[in-house]
Amino acid sequence: MSGQLVECVPNFSEGRVSATVDAIVRAMLAAPEVALLDRQSDADHNRSVITLAGPPAAVAEAAFRGVEKAVELIDLTRHRGAHPRIGAADVVPFIPLQGVAMEDCVRLAESVGQRIWSRLKVPVYLYEAAARRPGRANLENVRRGQFEALTREMGALPERHPDIGDPVCHPTAGATAVGARKFLIAYNINLGTTDLAVADAIARTIRSSSGGFPCVKSMGVFLASRNLAQVSINLTDFERTPLHVVYEAVAREAGRRGVEVVGSEIVGLIPRKALEMAAGHFLHCENFRPESVLENRVAAAVSPDAPSAWRLPER
């Protein structure tokens, strides 16, 4: 595999009506050269997370087509769900995968954002690495009060003006946050309790904004369909705070409150290295390292960067 690869993980505010999500996915895949890596819909969150990859221009085209279809089909004034959102196409992040710099993804975010405003009249906030105002690196600030508050405040408060477009929410599609960021692990841990306060308390303990682990965002969510509380987690740098550290902290904090972890789920995709780190930890491995993995060794041995004594011929 070679060439430039960008990932895009648009989140759409529909997780219940599969025909709507299907139509959005179909619209995106009609763009040439784009691969669907994953799709996941959650009825409680009422949200779908789609993972695409491909060359930068192709992924940008697909992302725009997905936003266009979501604006056409989703009416946010009728949307209820456990996950905060400001738009029909709520967030559209671009992530460098291969042969692409973060700066390239910032340019993609800007051009797709410009197109969303000029063609669809949906105002756009630029976030994370694409942010133009310091407070907007953090998506929580952009999404504060959600669609309902934003509709009232966008025009009235200068600090809520969008980065691209007029300061007026689209009547049914709200606004869209378009950004560039590193790969993020979305990971939810389900608790054996219906008490949302327990999930909230655990989320506060682990998240960096409340003094917890660096690079961890977290909130409590109630899953009506399963009648249980969930700690919903975003891990923005799993090499600084590993996945297994977060898992064990949640399990420990739950245990202190007499609550069990009943399961967990990865939303979208997870980088191999995060899993390898977790397996090494849980197996109590004294000597675990990525080089212990057969496929990693073979790949390193055939790499053109390998020292010559280690190289395998490529045939």
Query: Which CB sits closer to its own copies, 97 or 201?
Result: 97
Shortest CB 289 distance to its own copies, Å: 10
How far apart CA 273 and CA 210 sit, in angstroms, is: 27
Shortest CB 23 distance to its own copies, Å: 15
Closest CA to 255 of 211, 193, 194, 187: 193
Query: Which CB sits closer to its own copies, 29 or 137?
Result: 29
How far apart CA 93 and CA 4 sit, in angstroms, is: 17
The catalytic residue positions are: 83
The answer to whether the beta carbons of residues 248 and 281 sit under 8 Å apart is no
Chain mean position to CA 192: 25
The answer to whether the beta carbons of residues 263 and 190 sit under 8 Å apart is yes
Helix or strand holding residue 37 (H, E): strand 35-42
Token duo for residue 66:
């997905």
Shortest CB 288 distance to its own copies, Å: 7
Q: Could you list the residues that contact its own copies (CB under 8 A)? A: 1-5, 29, 33-38, 51, 53-55, 97, 183, 189-190, 243-244, 247, 261-266, 269-272, 275-276, 278-280, 282-288, 291-299, 301-302, 306, 309-315
Query: Which CB sits closer to its own copies, 224 or 306?
Result: 306
Could you tell me the CA-to-CA distances from 160 to 130, 136, 142, 153 in Å, in that order? 17, 10, 8, 7
Shortest CB 227 distance to its own copies, Å: 16
Token duo for residue 227:
């009648």
Q: Count other C-beta atoms under 10 Å from residue 283's C-beta.
A: 9
How far apart CA 178 and CA 10 sit, in angstroms, is: 9
How far apart CA 252 and CA 303 sit, in angstroms, is: 42
Shortest CB 236 distance to its own copies, Å: 15
Query: Which CB sits closer to its own copies, 257 or 272?
Result: 272
Shortest CB 300 distance to its own copies, Å: 9
Q: Count other C-beta atoms under 10 Å from residue 105's C-beta.
A: 28
Query: Which CB sits closer to its own copies, 176 or 188?
Result: 188
The answer to whether the beta carbons of residues 122 and 87 sit under 8 Å apart is yes
End-to-end CA distance of the chain: 15
Token duo for residue 5:
């690869």
Q: SS3 for 185?
A: strand
Shortest CB 280 distance to its own copies, Å: 8
Query: Which CB sits closer to its own copies, 23 or 137?
Result: 23
Query: Which CB sits closer to its own copies, 145 or 263?
Result: 263
